[in-house]
A and B are shown apart, each in its own frame.
Chain A
Amino acid sequence: MHAIEKILMKNSGKSNIHTGEIVNAKIDFAEINDLYLQTVYSFYEMGGQKVWDNERCAFVFDHYAPCPDIKSAENHKAMREFAIKNNLRFHFDTNCGVCHQVMPEAGVIYPGMIVVATDSHTTTHGAFGAMGTGCGATDMATILMTGELWFRVPEIIEVRLDGKTQKGVYPKDVILAVLGKIRADGAVYKAIDFTGSYVEGLNVAGRMTICNMAVEMGAKTAYMQPNSDVLEYVKKRAVRPYEVQYTDPGYKYAESYTFDVSGIEPELACPSSVENVHTLSSVVAEGEVKINQGYIGSCTGGRVEDIAEAAKILKGRHIPEYTRLVVIPASREVMLECMTRGYISDLMNAGATISTPGCGACLGAHEGILAPGEVCITSTNRNFPGRMGSTEALMYLASPATVAASMVYGKITDPREFLN
């Protein structure tokens, strides 16, 4: 039996479970972000009165932090009122950061749990050996009322990542290379278990980046067996006791893919689809790609490790005139750490604009929107038309190092040029 199945089995109170079965499982933590006031509406429309457990659900105000307009301010106000009325133990207002970063930091994410959030990138929490999955507002309202949600026990795909990456190649490059092979719908309704020696040695931030983008292949959830870095991280933070689940030896996956990460180069997802992945070298070989804006941030590429790589490259350099680089740390904790380490001043001296921890322009809400015809290179996770503003803007997804390197000349540039 797989660890994910064991989690589902335990939370649905069953003694056995099989693929394809529909189970009602208890939710250990539920998170609603600030796009989903509909959750509150649906809750009352369905006759909800009080949340099932005031210690197991929270709002995170990340997409509109701080509010860019009256409408989002009204939404926050209504959500705050709901949080106060229900006496929620956890609340993440506009001073915290992106939900998938602030939840682990606050210790509400730990191995063996089920976390459901009104956000597709909830697959991120597989990095901690948790089962994380996204849902819509009304599904979330049913959780707030009952503490449960129905799931179909998914097929599980193994993505085995072995070997060591070359210098200048980051977890973001690895997941882009995987996505280019498995494609945007390669794992729809399924779970992805990332295994292999590369994953075993990977730090928390790198694990989160990879699990985060599992949803770009359609995955319901992602999983990585916790390693010592993860256990260290959660030991200091977890707000309740937890039990790590392990996959039984000899478990048979629905499908298996194997990648030798040592062959992966800096990669790009070119406009305008996450599966349109090419090596950076092949893209620039076809001609120079000029950049108007670089963007470093989000639940994919806005952690300390990401900003560190950018600062390393940009320290003592300056972005060209008439270009801009927006850097948005994923959380307050991340930003404080980056300040302590001097990355924020290095980046500001290089010409970067630093903005409030949160989602920012990742989904085109504010803080770095693109005009028609503009080109952006970004450490985020989606480049669909219109994702960061105009439907006529073009987005290249890349590692934070590639974004930083590209901002040195204002054109897509291989980060390895700066790493010797």
Chain B
Amino acid sequence: MQKVLTGKCIVIGDNIDTDQIYPGRFLAITDPKEIGSHCLCGVSEDIAGNFPEGGFVVAGRNFGCGSSREHAPIALINMGAVAVLADSFARIFFRNAVNLGLLPIICKGINKHVKEGQTLTLDVEAGTVNVHETGEVFECEKLGDQAMKILEAGGIKPMMRAKFAGK
């Protein structure tokens, strides 16, 4: 896994729930690219089509609250996001993101400071986010060992495949 990532960001608010990330009416869709095209349409229909490839979603508290749908991180990944930086995450979203290789990074207060379209560099190991335009540096929480283990394996799928390959 890449541990230093640079990309542009979008900025959204608090309590962005899974219905806003990926509304219930699209849940029967299984094609990942199509899932990605509806990402965050509960916030605005314009986000997914214009999202910067390899970019960051910056949000407030309790990102990903609501249902356990894995479509939420699948949508974010297929929209082109590599990480979500937020004040806090809902628990199931956090697990789903790690399992699928999307970085959920707790970075308190960041959504009050950065602006849409700014370029950020996230250093996962150092636990920092650098804002290119302003030179500001934010501290973020480091991921736990279990989460790092899964992410370094490329997600839970390659990890399980490796485990079951011998059986």
Residues on the B chain within 8 Å of A246, using CB: none
Number of interface residues of B (CB under 8 A): 41
Residues 22 to 71 of chain B near chain A (Cβ within 8 Å) = 23-25, 27-30, 42, 61-62, 65-71
Query: Is the pair A119, B95 in contact by a Cβ cutoff of 8 Å?
Result: no
A83 within 8 A of B: no
A391 within 8 A of B: yes
**Can you list, as one digit per residue, whether each of B94-133 has a CB less than 8 Å from chain A (1) or not (0)?**
0110011000000000000000000000000000000000
A170 within 8 A of B: no
CA distance A120 to B23 in the complex (A): 15
Query: Is the pair A42, B157 in contact by a Cβ cutoff of 8 Å?
Result: yes
Q: Known contacts A47-B161, A71-B28, A218-B65; decide if A136 and B70 are in contact (CB<8 Å).
A: yes
A387 within 8 A of B: yes
Stretch from A183-191, A302-310, A336-344 that touches the partner = A183-191
Considering the complex, give the chain B residue whose CB is closest to the CB of A137: B70
Number of interface residues of A (CB under 8 A): 49
Query: Is the pair B92, A120 in contact by a Cβ cutoff of 8 Å?
Result: yes
Residues 173 to 216 of chain A near chain B (Cβ within 8 Å) = 184-185, 188-189
Stretch from A32-40, A155-163, A232-240, A320-328 that touches the partner = A32-40
B165 within 8 A of A: yes
CA distance A365 to B28 in the complex (A): 10
Question: Total contacts A to B, CB within 8 angstroms?
Answer: 127
Query: Is the pair B68, A365 in contact by a Cβ cutoff of 8 Å?
Result: no
Residues on the A chain within 8 Å of B19, using CB: 363-364, 382, 384-387
Residues on the A chain within 8 Å of B65, using CB: 184-185, 218
What are 22 A-B contacts defined by CB distance under 8 Å?
A22-B146, A36-B70, A38-B74, A42-B157, A45-B161, A48-B164, A63-B27, A136-B68, A136-B70, A136-B95, A138-B100, A142-B160, A152-B146, A185-B65, A188-B91, A275-B15, A364-B19, A364-B24, A384-B15, A384-B20, A385-B42, A387-B24
Binding site for B on A (CB under 8 A): 22, 35-38, 41-42, 45-48, 63-64, 69, 71-72, 75, 118-120, 134-139, 141-142, 145, 150, 152, 184-185, 188-189, 218, 220, 273, 275, 363-365, 382, 384-387, 389, 391
